[in-house]
């Protein structure tokens, strides 16, 4: 081959190589662009699906609420539908104080048809898993029947223990795109779910307690409605080493939850205990698992959204305790305090069953109590 022929062949090879590289570059750019477009489309699709799911869940609650209101006369509707105000929102309690400390219409005054419709609202609004949400709430009502049958006419807050002494109210008119709140509660139970623009904006404050902590029904069914909560809290706090327990120990003693009724916005200015960022991955999972039963008061989709926020804030969350970690005696107390989430669990001496302990707990959110719609 002559030198001239070799040079021409080399130039042709270089030209061909350049063309191939340009083609590959173009293909890569196209692939990257297509991948980015596909990713954006997938994200938009997921967001749209999530929004549609939330809107569908709220629509179901509104449909049930409207159906319940349709069973009531005008005076009963006036008892149920109230304005959204600070005073109305804060009118809840864990005490057996009837209508003196809470809003709404009393279950004992409803006909069978009306009661069924009222419970349908709760079924639509709350988690439907066994032992959570609606099922757990109904077990608290059963516990009050147990207390009533125990024959005590007194007790803390004045007695009057009965599954009929629970109340339902709507703060604002139920709407698929407006802002309103579902309130339901009585002794040892206060549910506050806030809706806005077709989504759950908050499932707190949520108080749940129980006395007795366990019992067997007349049909042989065993009940222990807060055992999942207790077990999760206990697994979390007992996972700490002796050095970690020393960091988590609170200087104060507690005989009740700190942020119960009439304590809106009263979060401690300084967080106490051990920071979750210092714990192992396994312990972090226990912290998230411990708070889950409280967050799961609302529907599955809304609970998942809230838990995703709390998980993202886990490293800046603190856990602490007072008393012992056995959770078997008066004053045994555990707290989870994050940038958003707040959970308390405390053991108290029994009121009706004085030889036993019973549980008080509360779930709050630093920014989402009452859906963040009110300031305290």
The DSSP code sequence of 173-185 is ---SSS-EEEEEE
**41-87, pLDDT tens digit by residue?**
444 444 445 566 778 899 999 999 999 999 999 999 999 999 999 99
pLDDT at 14: 36
**Across 183-199, average pLDDT:** 97
pLDDT at 9: 35
pLDDT at 56: 87
pTM of the model: 0.86
Residue 199 has which token pair? 């989504």
Q: Looking at the predicted structure, is the pLDDT value of residue 365 above 50?
A: yes
H helices within the chain, ranges in order?
A: 3-70, 74-80, 86-89, 112-125, 133-149, 227-238, 242-248, 281-295, 300-312
**92-130, pLDDT tens digit by residue?**
999 999 999 999 999 999 999 999 999 999 999 999 999
Output the average pLDDT for the chain: 88
CB neighbour burial string for 8-40, b if at least 16 within 10 angstroms, e if fewer: eeeeeeeeeeeeeeeeeeeeeeeeeeeeeeeee
**323-337, pLDDT tens digit by residue?**
999 999 999 999 999
How is 186-247 classified by DSSP, letter by letter? ETTEEEEEEEETTEEEE--SEEEEESSS-EE-TTS-EE-TTHHHHHHHHHHHHTS-HHHHHH
Q: Looking at the predicted structure, is the pLDDT value of residue 192 above 90?
A: yes
Residue 313 has which token pair? 């804030």
**Across 18-43, average pLDDT:** 42
Q: Is 167 helix (H, G, I), strand (E, B) or coil?
A: strand
**Across 246-275, average pLDDT:** 97
Confidence at 35, pLDDT banded by 50, 70, 90: very low
């Amino acid at each position: 081959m002559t030198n001239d022929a070799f040079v021409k062949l080399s130039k042709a090879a270089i030209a061909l190589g350049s063309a191939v590289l340009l083609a590959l570059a173009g293909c890569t750019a196209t692939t990257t662009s297509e991948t980015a477009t596909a990713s954006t489309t997938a994200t938009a699709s997921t967001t749209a699906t999530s929004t549609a799911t939330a809107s569908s869940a709220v629509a179901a609650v509104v449909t049930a609420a409207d159906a319940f209101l349709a069973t009531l006369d005008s005076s009963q509707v006036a008892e149920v539908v109230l304005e959204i105000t600070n005073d109305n929102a804060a009118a809840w309690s864990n005490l057996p104080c009837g209508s003196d400390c809470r809003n709404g219409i009393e279950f004992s005054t409803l006909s069978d048809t009306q009661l069924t419709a009222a419970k349908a609202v709760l079924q639509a609004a709350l988690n439907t898993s066994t032992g959570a949400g609606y099922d757990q709430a109904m077990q608290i009502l059963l516990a009050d029947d147990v207390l009533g049958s125990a024959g005590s006419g007194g007790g803390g807050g004045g007695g009057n223990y009965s599954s009929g002494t629970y109340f339902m109210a709507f703060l604002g008119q139920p709407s698929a795109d407006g802002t309103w709140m579902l309130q339901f509660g009585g002794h040892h139970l206060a549910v506050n779910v806030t809706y806005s623009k077709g989504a759950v904006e908050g499932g707190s404050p949520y108080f749940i307690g129980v006395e007795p902590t366990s019992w067997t029904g007349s049909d042989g069914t065993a009940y222990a409605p807060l055992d999942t909560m207790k077990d999760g809290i206990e697994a979390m706090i007992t996972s700490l080493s002796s050095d970690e327990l020393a960091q988590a120990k609170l200087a104060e003693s507690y005989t009740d939850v700190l942020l119960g009724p009439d304590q809106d916005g009263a979060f401690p200015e300084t967080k106490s205990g051990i920071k979750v960022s210092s714990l192992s991955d396994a312990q972090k999972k226990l912290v998230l698992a411990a708070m889950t039963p409280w967050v799961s008061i609302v529907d599955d989709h809304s609970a998942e959204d809230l838990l995703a926020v709390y998980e993202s804030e886990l490293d800046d969350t603190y856990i602490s305790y007072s008393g012992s970690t056995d959770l078997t005696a008066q004053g045994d107390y555990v707290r989870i305090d994050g940038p958003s989430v707040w959970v308390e669990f405390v053991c108290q001496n029994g009121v009706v069953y004085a030889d036993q302990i019973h549980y008080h707990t509360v779930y709050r959110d630093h920014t989402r109590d009452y859906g963040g719609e009110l300031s305290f």
